[in-house]
Each structure stands twice: as structure tokens, then as C-alpha cells.
Structure 1
Amino acid sequence: MRKLPFALLALVALSPVAQAHEVWVERDGSGPARIYLGEPGDVLPAGGDPEFEKLKAPRLVPASTAQQTRKAGYIEVAAPAGDVRVIDDSVFAPWGEDGKKEGVIYYARAGRTEAKAGLPLEIVPTAAHANSFTLIRDGKPLADTKVMVISPDKWSKNVTTDAQGRVTVPFRERGRYILTATHTEKGDLTLADQKVATLYHIATLTFVN
């Protein structure tokens, strides 16, 4: 399948700044976690994504007091053994007209050793190290939802969850994969003490095949 530019695959409903950006976490073995903001389908620019400065204080789940150190393009933090989970609702301030404002919350996970969810929106392996996953929102599977698969060589493919919220990832090669999915919530909502009408929940999962 021909690789498409990642920006063209991003949700057009998001603001021009937020539409192509994700928060994701990478970890090698039991080493420190690296938290990124950028476009995971593209090669990261030298020094990090231009919007990286907006990633101020991502929160580990469960909460941790571990020191976060800013590096060139990512935040490094010592994390407990096992899968790493992060949430951030302050990267981009709500945008748009009053009464129609939109906002975004990012959820990121690294690792696939646990077949359970720990975030409000999460891409969860059906078993430890499985190549099938369930997209879970508040404990319930999300059916008929697109999940983007980004391979180590930045090849991208969209797959859609089935009636049980599951997808199977087509592995092409060894290396680090990134999965991403979005759930859109509408209503009388609040983000950063502002009223928003639309809230985009964006989840990523990274793992090494």
C-alpha cells in the first residue's frame, strides 16, 4: 500500500495547529520513558516538533512524582516497570467561537504487556504482546472507529474496529509501531475551565514488534 502523508490522514475537523499532532510515549526495555508531541507519521525534525514547547507537564497514570527532564524534542521521565501511561489536557487551549469551542485531550501508552485499560480512552492488547487490540472508552469497546497503524518505516494504514471494538494490526517488519485513534464527544463540556461544545479524545499506543 502506498504511504500517504500523515497530515493528509489527520482529522480535518481539528484546528490547523492541533489536527496533525499527537502525544506518544516510547520506552526501550526498562529504561526511562520518552514523551513526544508531534506528528508520529513523519520523521521528527532535529530538535523536536515546532509545537513541542506546548507540551509542559504530561501526567503519568498512576500519578508519579518522578522528575521530568526536557530533552531535544521529548520529555524524559523515570517510570515504574511495565507499560507506561500518560494523559495531557493542556497542550492546546480550546479554540473557536464562544458556544462552539473545541478542545483536545491526549492519552498515550507505551507497551503491550497488560491486557487492560488504565486511561479513559486506550488502545488495549487483547492479550500480552498480541497483534490484536480493543479500543476502549470508559471501560466500553468502541465499534466502527478508525485506528491508524504507523509502521517503523512510517508506512501508514487505517483499520476499523469491529462490533467488539477490535482490530488486528498487519505487521510488516520489526521495530516500533504507533497506533492512534480518536473519539469525538459533543455536548455541554468543560476543558481548562472553558466551555467547549466538542472535545476530541486522542489515544496512542506504541510498542516494539
Structure 2
Amino acid sequence: MKKLAYSILLSSIAVVSANAHEIWLDLDDKKNEAKLFFGHFDGKQTESGEKFARIKEGVSYPDGLVKDVKRDDNSITYTLSKKSDIAVVRTSEPRKARNSEIVENKISYTKAGRTSVESIIDFDIIPLAKDSNSFRLVFKNEPIKKSKVKVISPTGWEKTFEINDKGEFTIHTPWIGKYLLQASLEDETKGEIDGKTFDKTIHFIAYTIEVNQGLPWETKK
């Protein structure tokens, strides 16, 4: 099998500033549902109306998990058939990068839950054990080595963690609440979608985990 050469880096969409927007999933095991939001994760401020309208529902994984999808003004609710981790994959139309003639195909993966130790999407962050703070970054079940993952805490604290030569990393979660893990991968393989050619594919994952033990905190008003 021919090996594909991947250029791995934390791209500009992963290295976000305090004013950047994120897309994330909130998983509610008690209701067996997940909600997708767009906005500022660190301040839990969500966009609505026209700004949110351009966010696609995407394709959900694992197959058959989602039994209903409902769109509101500022969220998309995925009703689940059972308790499970969930991922939503959204693909945008290939287009030229800013200040470049390179045509990029962008695939966004949004995930929540920390129970499954098996990959459920092509580009995935997998806990090494249920509810573990140690993870593996993989692409098509192959570990992505010597890369980076950015973590945004529920307090707005941000930190970048190094990935070792096994594709594994461990994060710190001192506060109670939801954390957002972000990573990206650039695949230099050329391709075509619906008659439109592209020079490379950018894979980006935003993965939400919930921590129930640790230091309490309150959002400053």
C-alpha cells in the first residue's frame, strides 16, 4: 500500500484568538441528545439568526445513532436513540485559500463524549480509557505523531499540549465543566468533489468533554 504523506500542524483555525468563533457539541446523557452551537466557547456566548443559519447540520456518527434533528435560531439538536458519544461531520465546498491560488477542501469534525475507546470518524480524538484525560489523535485509525492539541477550559484558560510519537497526549482538567479540544491535519493529496478539483484537504476537529470533579468556578459578569 502506498503511504500518504501528511503535513501535520495546528492550523490557523485551531490557533484561535479570544475573539475567534468555535463550533461545539454539548452532550446531555440524561436527555439522550446533543446540541451544536456556534460562538465563543470560552464565554459560552452563542450566535443566532443569520450568523448561525450558515452552519450545516452535517452527517452524524455512529450510523443510526441520531433519530431526529431539529434546528432552532441558535442551535441544532440531535436526538439520540441511546447513550453514546456522537460526532457530526460537515464538508464545505472546495475554494481558494486566502492570499493563495491553492484550492482547499475543508472537513470539520465536531464531537462530544468520552466513553468509546474506538474511532467513530476518520479524524478523531479517542480517550485511552473511558473518562480518561489521556487521548490518541488518529486519522483513519493511524496515530498522528508529533503534533499539537489546543484545549480551552470552561474558565477560558487555554493551553497547547504536545502529542508524542505514539499519537498520544494527556491534558489537565482542574475545573468542573466542559473543555474543548482542537486539532487539525493537512492532507496534501489532490482530489475532486462534484467536478471541482482541490489541492489539499484540511481536517479540523473540535471535541467537547465534560469534567464533573475538580475546582468550582463562576463566570464573571
TM-score (norm 1): 0.81
Alpha-carbon distance, 1:43 to partner:
3.7
Alignment of 1:98-109 (within 5 A): 100-109=102-111
Alpha-carbon distance, 1:186 to partner:
1.1
Contact residue 38 and residue 51 of structure 1 kept, 8 A = no
Q: 1 CA distance for matches of 2:143 and 2:52?
A: 31
Alpha-carbon distance, 1:36 to partner:
2.4
Q: Which amino acid aligns with 2:41?
A: P
Find the counterpart in structure 2 of residue 75 from structure 1.
76
Unmatched segments (≥5 aa) in structure 1: 1-9, 15-19
Contact residue 42 and residue 154 of structure 2 kept, 8 A = no
1:146 aligns with 2:179: no
Q: 2 CA distance for matches of 1:30 and 1:157?
A: 30
Alpha-carbon distance, 1:198 to partner:
2.0
Contact residue 38 and residue 47 of structure 2 kept, 8 A = no
Alpha-carbon distance, 1:205 to partner:
1.5
Change (3 A) 1:40 1:194: farther
Structure 1 or 2, whichever has the larger Rg, is 2
Find the counterpart in structure 1 of residue 61 from structure 2.
61
Q: 1 CA distance for matches of 2:161 and 2:134?
A: 11
1:202 aligns with 2:204: yes
Find the counterpart in structure 1 of residue 179 from structure 2.
177
Q: Deviations over 1:39-88 (max 9, x none)?
A: 5345424537x642222231111334623111232100101311112111
How many correspondences in the alignment? 192
Q: 2 CA distance for matches of 1:122 and 1:193?
A: 28
Identical counterparts, % of pairs: 25
Alpha-carbon distance, 1:106 to partner:
0.9
TM-score (norm 2): 0.77
Instruction: Calculate the aligned-residue CA RMSD, in Å.
Output: 2.5
Q: Which amino acid aligns with 1:201?
A: H
Unmatched segments (≥5 aa) in structure 2: 1-9, 15-19, 212-221
Q: Which structure 1 residue ranges, 4+ long, deviate > 4 Å from structure 2? A: none
1:187 aligns with 2:189: yes
